[in-house]
Amino acid sequence: MNFEISKEPIQIQDVIDKVVQREAGAITTFIGTVRELTAGKKTLFLIYEAYEPMAVKKLEQIGKEIEERWSGAKVAITHRIGKLEITDVAVVIAVSTPHRADAYEANRYAIERIKEIVPIWKKEHWEDGEEWIGNQLETVAYPTGKPEEKDLNE
């Protein structure tokens, strides 16, 4: 299982081990962590929630997209859910490819896609309140009810 949602702390090495291959000349690892300050506001902790079966499917889709775009690529992604403290690891993405440039590019692609199509939400808790992120600003609207092709390929 290269694509997982985990309620437990992510074992980073386990994610990396899934993409080890003899054909690879590079493995890039992205580790997303919980930041304390966002726009000057102090986060106490985060709660991540997922629509788990669909989130796994969408992570698998991202893996397929990468294998189609970067030949020889192998991908593993684990996203954690539940309560996370500052500096905790929220997501680990490992990509192996024959050459290093592709490994960097494909890894960047994976995190950007996660932020577009994977049904996972975070709720930030501050000293003076809490808020689901990605909902209140309404910076992203989907008038047709689903992401447009252009939203997905940016």
Identified binder of other proteins from the candidate list 2, 105, 117, 125, rule CB under 8 A: 117
| Cα maximum dimension of the chain | 52
Give backbone dihedrals phi and psi of 25, rounded to 5 degrees, phi first.
-110, -5
Q: Is 48 in the site for other proteins (CB under 8 A)?
A: yes
- Least separation, in Å, of the C-beta of 25 and other proteins? 27
Query: Which of 45, 105, 108, 121 touches other proteins (CB under 8 A)?
Result: 121
> Is residue 143 at the binding interface for other proteins, with CB under 8 A as the rule?
yes
Q: Is 136 in the site for other proteins (CB under 8 A)?
A: yes
CB of 48 within 8 A of CB of 91? no
**Smallest distance, other proteins to C-beta of residue 23, A:** 28
10 contributes a contact to other proteins by CB under 8 A: no
What is the C-alpha to C-alpha distance for residues 123 and 41, in angstroms, rounded to an integer?
14
The answer to whether 65 and 106 are in contact (CB under 8 A) is: no
82 near 19, Cβ under 8 Å?
no
Tokens in use for 146? 């689903």
**95 has which bridge partners?**
28, 75
From the list 16-24, 52-60, 65-73, 96-104, the region that binds other proteins by CB under 8 A is 52-60
**Does 142 engage in binding with other proteins (CB under 8 A)?**
yes
For other proteins, the closer CB: 24 or 77: 77
- Scan for tokens 């024959």, then name that residue: 98
Residues that bind other proteins (CB under 8 A): 32, 48-51, 53-55, 57, 79, 90-91, 111, 114-123, 132-136, 138-147
